[in-house]
Structure 1
Amino acid sequence: MKVVLRFKKRGMKRFLSTLESIKLVERSLRRADLPLVFTEGFHPKPKMSLLDAMPVGVVNLAFYVEVHLKDLSKKHLKDLENTLPEDFSLSGAWICEENINKLVKFYRFKLITPYFIDLQNKKVEKKGKEILFKESVVDFETFRAKDYYIFRYTQRREKLLNPLLLVEKDSFFVAICEETLTKDGEDLSSFLERRGTCVKEGSPG
């Protein structure tokens, strides 16, 4: 059985590296005594995979993990929720045989800063090359909320850029990965609701 779990990585937990985040998930699955399926060989590990790594410091509300289990019950999920730290919560779970790494084509981000960023003309450097930010996105919008500017944009997976490259060095900002999307622009969670079996409903925010 393949289960897709959605976690929300917030607060101080956003400073965990990808490797540390994977270890946290694996450790929590073991502590909750979920019936994991392991790889073969001298050093068996739980059969699990995840999507693209987000940069350290980015809030990730769409931390999806595929994990293979022998069985799954409501008690398993409740035990897992109780095992996880507050800033790394379980927000959805689906039984689904689809490969999420083949489904996801876009990421939706939100960037909050106290100053305006001209995304239309913003250039960033990646692997020694200068890239025009707007060429990596399919849409973006800017609006103001009190003393802050909020930038929302959807980025192609194959042209994924670190959102931290968009902000001024040593400035205040909040970068958030809000959701992953399929090639048709559908939220992955909506796709899983439609094509899989929901065993834990997603939570807002």
Structure 2
Amino acid sequence: MKYLLKLKKFGKSTFISHNDTLEELERMFRRAKIEMEYTQGFHAKPKLAIQDFSNFNKYVSEGFRLMKYGPVKDNYKLNIKYYLFRVYISENLFSIFEKSIENDEILKNKFIDLEYKKNKKGIYVLKYKQEYNKIYNIWKVFKNMEEDFIFFPFVYDVIWGG
């Protein structure tokens, strides 16, 4: 049986890369004394087989928290309806983005429920959702940028379908 975990990173842990986060998860499972099978080959990776996550938060590293978990079927990704994105961009990128979506209705429709605000540090925070099978790479809007900028996109949640 497969399980889907929803972990939250906070504090300094939010800056840990994806690969380092996966390695940290392996360490958490070892600390929790969860038995793991390993793949065959030169660089063996753990195959995680876990049934009880009830005490898992006792063993997580600082900056991590298991929010929820549950069993899933092999085709669980097919049930994803939307990805929720949050993108941090500098003012110069925001002006390009704003002009692009004002002038292109098709592009504007790719960013469902688009909201944005400027934070205290002058960085714009875009929040929007996109359908699972219709992801548009927002970087395409800025691909010809030649001056310095801030660009930090990530998926912060998913919405499951029926």
Alpha-carbon distance between aligned partners in 2 of 1:17 and 1:133, rounded to the nearest angstrom: 30
The structure richer in helix per residue is 2
Identity of aligned residues (%): 22
1:133-184 per-position Cα deviation (integer Å, ceiling 9, x unaligned): 5354233134578887653211234425367x87x9455x8766331123x4
**Are the counterparts in 1 of residues 28 and 61 from structure 2 also a CA contact under 8 Å?**
no
Rg comparison, structure with higher value: 2
User: How does 1:85-124 map onto structure 2 within 5 Å?
Assistant: 85-111=61-87, 117=94, 119-122=97-100
Partner residue of 1:153?
128
* Matched residue SS, 2:69: strand
CA 1:104 to 1:68, structure 2 compared with 1: closer, same or farther past 3 Å? Answer: farther
Q: Structure 2 regions of 5+ residues with no counterpart?
A: none
- In 1: Cα distance, 2:149 partner to 2:91 partner: 13
Q: Which residue of 1 aligns with 2:54?
A: 74
Question: Is the CA contact (8 Å cut-off) linking 1:120 and 1:134 kept in structure 2?
Answer: no
Runs of 4 or more consecutive aligned structure 1 residues displaced over 6 Å after TM superposition: 144-148
TM-score (norm. length: structure 1): 0.53
Unmatched tracts of structure 1, length 5 or more? 48-66, 124-131, 185-190, 192-205
